[in-house]
Amino acid sequence: MIKKIAVGTISMALVLSLAACGSNAGDKAKPSESSSSTPAPAPTKLVYWTGDRHDSDYIKSVIEKYNSTNKDGITVEYVVKGDDYNQALDIAFASGQAPDVFRAKENTAQNFYKKGYMAPLDSYLTDDLKKSFPAMEDLNRFDGKMYSLPNYGSTMRLVYNQDLFAKAGITNPPTTLKELVEDAKKITAVGKADGAYGFALNFKNPGSAFDRSGRVIAEASGFGGFGYNFKTGKFDFTGFKDIVQAFKQMKDDGSTLPGMESLDIDPLRAQFAEGKIGMYISYSSEPGVYKTQFPAKIKWAAAPVPTIDGTVKGATGFLGGPWLSISSSTKNKDQAWKFLKYMYTEEVLQTYHEKGFGISMVPSVIAKAKKPDINGIDGFLPNKYDGVWPIQPTVNVQGIKYQDAFLKYMLEGGDFNKVVDDLNKRYNEALDKAVAAGEVKAKVIPDFDPAKLAGTFAK
């Protein structure tokens, strides 16, 4: 049977609420003289790294408040990395310059755990904290120990420019890949003179681009979003064929923003806010982005992603789970935990939810939080097709990763069947090796039905 992620009481409430180098050693100085008989705590500097930018203004203000009000002598340096965040973290740990606290995501936590980056939190967790923050296997908890507490999750949608749709005579968002390609072409035909194109993705980082687009289209169409087949316990990237070919067709048609292959997510958002992009696919953090980070000059909305043939055969993955983790190499674990406790207070998390940065996964927050009053949020509210997929094994594959192989095919062409055959061979070899070494388990669910995953968050 499918091992489902524990979401506790949040399932019903999500729809109603909505549902949006470093210094390892502390810089110590002599305590200043004080009239108090209790000496002031020695100053400690913590470094916090994240790859999230959509919430950076808010998190910066939260940390500034912490730095000015905490009585523990702790100062936190906030570092926002780009799409090279994972690589930068690898280099930092390898060179002994890892941050004290860092952001873990649902698609990286398993790998960070295997690499030994995260310190267990169990010695700090009270019974009340354990009850307040539902733990998810292979996301928050690994091999019986907790490595991160949840904050928020995300739905994924097609984000579209209503003004360009109207100009192109398109009445409804696309529901099939064929319509996606056709609509991108129509938008480009009426918008190109003004520098507007039908479609774009942040292909400067192929992993980020495909994880926010091809992944959810595949899941809605009944295929594993990371290429893993839970029925067979093997990798099979065949389900991406129509998706990648549709993306390639838009590129070949000239319907995509020029230079898309070198586009990062924030420049993409800036272009969309200016009215230069007709459609893209992304997370439920976008409403907050277009209210604060890149105020939109256009009318825009969000809709369910198209499927391969217009039929929904699986769940569009609800993504979430881990958030902040303490570095296994920090010499200031106690101080890092004090910072985490502050970041996980209801006040911080509730405001995070209400500003539309993510959909809270904390029951006590959901019970109090108001629905964000942000344009576009309604399109991201959990629907009957959103659901939680099982966690696929993470393997260290030799050679080019599947997202990079897909982009290479989009740009250069070739035989996609050969691309898939090569990926299947290399990924399954890596899986077999990892299983034999006891590093992962190949999850085989003979009766797996992706359609039954849908509706996890429906009322």
> So what's the pLDDT on residue 21?
41
The bridge status of strand 156-161 relative to strand 300-303 is: antiparallel
Cβ proximity of 105 and 324 under 8 Å: no
d(CA 352, CA 369): 10
Q: Residue 189 to residues 160, 172, 248, 255: CA-CA distances in angstroms?
A: 16, 18, 18, 8
How far apart, in Å, do the first and last CA atoms of the chain sit? Answer: 23
Burial of 59-80, coded b for 16+ CB within 10 Å and e otherwise, reads beebbeebeeebebbbbbebeb
Instruction: Map residue 197 onto helix, strand or coil.
Output: strand
Classified as helix, coil or strand, 386 is: strand
Residue 342 and residue 410 in contact, taking contact as beta carbons nearer than 8 Å: no
3-state secondary structure of 203: coil
The predicted structure's pLDDT at residue 105: 86
Q: Are strands 101-103 and 141-142 parallel, antiparallel or unpaired?
A: unpaired
Residue of 11, 4, 2 lying closest to 361 (CA atoms): 11
Tokens of 185: 């072409």
Radius of gyration (Cα) for the chain, nearest Å? 22
Walk along the chain (459 residues) in steps of 10 and give the mean pLDDT of each run: 40 37 40 53 94 92 98 97 89 97 88 94 94 87 93 93 98 98 98 98 95 96 96 97 98 97 95 98 92 93 97 89 95 98 96 89 89 88 88 91 97 97 98 92 91 72
Six-digit token string for 458: 């429906």
Cα separation, 114 vs 122, whole angstroms: 18
pLDDT value of residue 37: 59
Decide if 147 contacts 239 (C-beta within 8 A).
no
- Rounded Cα distance, 21 and 31, in Å: 25
Nearest to 17 by CA among 454, 315, 361, 455: 361
Please report the domains of the chain, with CATH numbers, ordered by start residue.
Answer: 21-32+40-154+319-357 (3.40.190.10), 156-314+378-459 (3.40.190.10)
Strand intervals (E) in 349-430 = 359-360, 386-387
The reported pLDDT for the residue numbered 390 is: 87
pTM: 0.79
Query: What is the four-CA torsion angle of 452, 425, 261, 93, rounded to 10 degrees?
Result: 90
What confidence score (pLDDT) does residue 456 get?
A: 65
β-sheet with 277-283: strand ranges across = 197-199, 277-283, 156-161, 300-303
For 94, the token pair is 């390898």
> Where would I find the H helices in 314-401?
333-343, 346-354, 363-368
